[in-house]
Amino acid sequence: MSDDYRQLLDATIQHLEGLKSRGVRHVAVAPETLRALALPPVRIQNSEFRIQNEKFSTAPSVKIEPTISVPPKKTTAPAPVAAPKVVVSIPQIEITSSSPAKAAAFTALRERALTCVKCPHLAASRTTVVFGVGNIDAQLMFVGEAPGADEDEIGEPFIGRAGQLLTKILLATGLTRADVYIANILKCRPDTPGQSAGNRPPTPEERATCIPYLQEQIDLIKPKAIVALGATAVDGLLGKTLGITKLRGNWQMYRGIPLMPTYHPAYLLRNQSLSEKRKVWEDFLKVMEKLEMPISAKQRNFFLQA
């Protein structure tokens, strides 16, 4: 058994045990993942892989029913082994678009991301994969860093304190969360072994492993503008850059799409000064102008000194 295989197997077992100890009875496992795990040293015969349509739930589910495979007739092959019969399901949500082909491609991408185990340590520690949320035909897309504890629990980006502030800023522009698409550089919560709380930024390896999912999301959505929230999002999309303080407020390009770097809303929670709020608001005004959104005089004056 190769080290990689053993590591993946250990991570999977650890993940399932962790979920079980938290009372979870169902997990999502992609057919291709199961097939890969079923390869040598144990050859699983007569396995059945089936996607099961279920009503939406926040918890992925998989039922594992042990069965005995049918022994081959008069052969010298090894004795039959107990083979798991696995029924796989992924939480179903309806992804709609003016283009059915786009919706289908996005749905397939989501299913691949939701069953990803490319970072075994994150697959073992996560509660959910936080794929992204919103309108896949949106003109505006937000990219953050990585899910925090709240997002990991629920499976939706930016729903904790920073997310609530982002939602408020969005409402100030006249948009709602349903008008835009929100995703992160990393789709799993960065683990913090040995710590019961706290966050850490994604490592360069984690970012490199996960970024293809985000790139596919962007290529499918084709927004007119992207807002990168904070240094990790800016670095993750643009590579090593001047730093968020110098870059914010200045249009960049990413995959042919104008990208506005701005501060992460968590920064505004830490620094409540009017001047920092105004900087972020000015970045949003530039985005509104780019999208040719109406801007009232009142909106133009938000967070200016009286």
For ligand URA, the binding residues (CB under 6 A) are 144-148, 151, 157-158, 160, 162-163, 184
SS3 assignment, position 120: helix
Q: Residue written as tokens 């501060």?
A: 263
Identity of the residue, 6 or 161, whose beta carbon is nearer to ligand URA in the bound complex = 161
> What's the token pair of residue 97?
């678009």
The DSSP letter of residue 177 is G
For residue 35, the minimal CB distance to ligand URA (Å) is 31
The DSSP letter of residue 31 is H
Does residue 73 come out as left (phi exceeding 0), alpha (psi in the -120 to 50 range) or beta? beta
Identity of the residue, 134 or 160, whose beta carbon is nearer to ligand URA in the bound complex = 160
For residue 188, the minimal CB distance to ligand URA (Å) is 11
Kindly provide the residue ranges of all beta strands, DSSP E only, lying in 210-279, ordered along the sequence. Answer: 225-229, 252-254, 257-262
The pairing of beta strand 225-229 with beta strand 257-262: parallel
For residue 125, the minimal CB distance to ligand URA (Å) is 16
Position closest to ligand URA via CB: 144
Rounded CA separation 276/282 (Å): 10
For residue 153, the minimal CB distance to ligand URA (Å) is 12
SS3 assignment, position 259: strand
For residue 143, the minimal CB distance to ligand URA (Å) is 8
Identity of the residue, 28 or 159, whose beta carbon is nearer to ligand URA in the bound complex = 159
Rounded CA separation 103/113 (Å): 15
For residue 266, the minimal CB distance to ligand URA (Å) is 6
